[in-house]
Amino acid sequence: MEKLVVKGPTPLKGEVIINGAKNAAVAILPATLLIDGCCTIENLPNISDIKISCEILEHLGAKITWNNKNSITIDSTNINSTKAPIDLTSRFRASYYILGAMLGRMGEIEVGMPGGCKLGARPIDQHIKGFELLGANVTVEKGTIYAKAKKLKGSPIYMDIVSVGATINVMLASVLANGTTIIDNAAKEPHIVDVANFLNTMGADIRGAGTDVIKINGVEKLHGNATYSVVPDQIEAGTFMLAAVATRGDITLKNCITKHLESITAKILEIGGNVQDNGDSIRVWCNKRPGKANIKTLPYPGFPTDLQPQMGVVLSLANGTSIITESIWDSRFQYTDELNKMGAHITAQGKNAFFEGVKRLSGAPVYSTDLRAGAALVVAGIAAEGTTEIYNLGYIDRGYEKIEEKFKKLGANIERVSE
């Protein structure tokens, strides 16, 4: 078993390069199944979710060549299986994108129920509703989803809730459908726009991604033979921005889109941190104890739920009492028990958590309870006095490329140790 051993406190200082977005990349890879040919994807984060996505694609008949650690070429000419193995699909959430992509490509797919972080109930009723409106027959039996369609037909689809996954999945399924699909009440996250940009680069006709109405005019074929670079990761960038504040450091982030970071910037300024927007880089620094703030997580452009635990670390150290309201997931405060082991004063009750700020955290053995919780504990360990040991690194490695090396370059005393 591996653990991260962090000795703090260290004010983080220096430059960090942000990788491509996990949540865009895990949708773009299945999207390549829609192409009758080859394409190259660059700026892929080198994380375990991507490696498993590649294994699933290969199982379905795609040929993958790694050009370097962040770039692959995928040849989807000979897709020859319609079964995605459950031992792979159960290992991460985004395996559900195989459904939309394969319905579009083959008109048929059998996929094990998606896995992923345990954040509360994670239904996929809106994905299924969308596929059915496009004309597919979808059944779920014994942990497997079966979806089949003769030829998908474009349709108006109103999403009952704003869902990143359902928006992307319906987009994937409808790109090659007959006629026009209109997704109403669509999610607007940067990764939705990125998947649409990727598909359009390959010949799709998708308009309105990034707004709450997306129109997809079905086309006959996606041509491939193009190279696409994944958008920078808003959540990895936000993690480092909040790490700069929590450790009272000074970090410049390179390869990020500052427009995607506005909700985080606004909160950092509100609590007394400093942010300098340089266009394609952003500098964040803080030289005093942060002030309190109230946060409510919301779909984009609201404050992202995937930065809620990292913000929780900052507010644990703030001057005063803050409230975080988690409005996306039912169970995303598990990390607060771990932070309390480090001396935080947090009370979580249902959708709210109350953070009575303390002057300092102290190192302790702690367990990642999910991906972003794990990243938050790393930030807490760097800000805390003494030694923190972080376990359950599998979660962190699903979404952050070499997290300890990036923090080490910023001055953190952090090592990955095998026990």
Is 256 labeled as catalytic in the residue annotation?
no
Residue in 39, 54, 117, 286 annotated catalytic: 117
Question: Which H/E stretch holds residue 24?
Answer: helix 22-31
DSSP 8-state class, residue 230: P
Q: Which residues bind ligand EPU (CB under 6 A)?
A: 23, 26, 93-94, 117, 121-127, 161, 163-166, 187, 305-306, 328-329, 371-372, 399
Task: Give the Cα separation of 169 and 194 in Å (integer).
Answer: 13
Question: Which H/E stretch holds residue 79?
Answer: none
Nearest CB to ligand EPU, comparing residues 1 and 121: 121
Nearest CB to ligand EPU, comparing residues 29 and 216: 29
Task: Count CA within 13 A, CB hemisphere, residue 81.
Answer: 13
Nearest CB to ligand EPU, comparing residues 246 and 371: 371
Q: Residue 288 Cβ, how far from ligand EPU at the closest point, in Å?
A: 30
Q: Residue 239 Cβ, how far from ligand EPU at the closest point, in Å?
A: 11
Task: Give the Cα separation of 83 and 329 in Å (integer).
Answer: 30
Q: Residue 304 Cβ, how far from ligand EPU at the closest point, in Å?
A: 6
Q: Residue 319 Cβ, how far from ligand EPU at the closest point, in Å?
A: 29
Strands of the sheet containing 365-367, edge to edge, are 365-367, 386-391, 2-8, 413-418
Nearest CB to ligand EPU, comparing residues 286 and 390: 390
Task: Give the Cα separation of 128 and 133 in Å (integer).
Answer: 9
Q: Residue 227 Cβ, how far from ligand EPU at the closest point, in Å?
A: 23
Nearest CB to ligand EPU, comparing residues 8 and 130: 130
Task: Give the Cα separation of 8 and 292 in Å (integer).
Answer: 23
Rg for the chain (alpha carbons), in Å? Answer: 21
Q: Is 339 helix (H, G, I), strand (E, B) or coil?
A: helix
Please identify every residue annotated as catalytic.
117
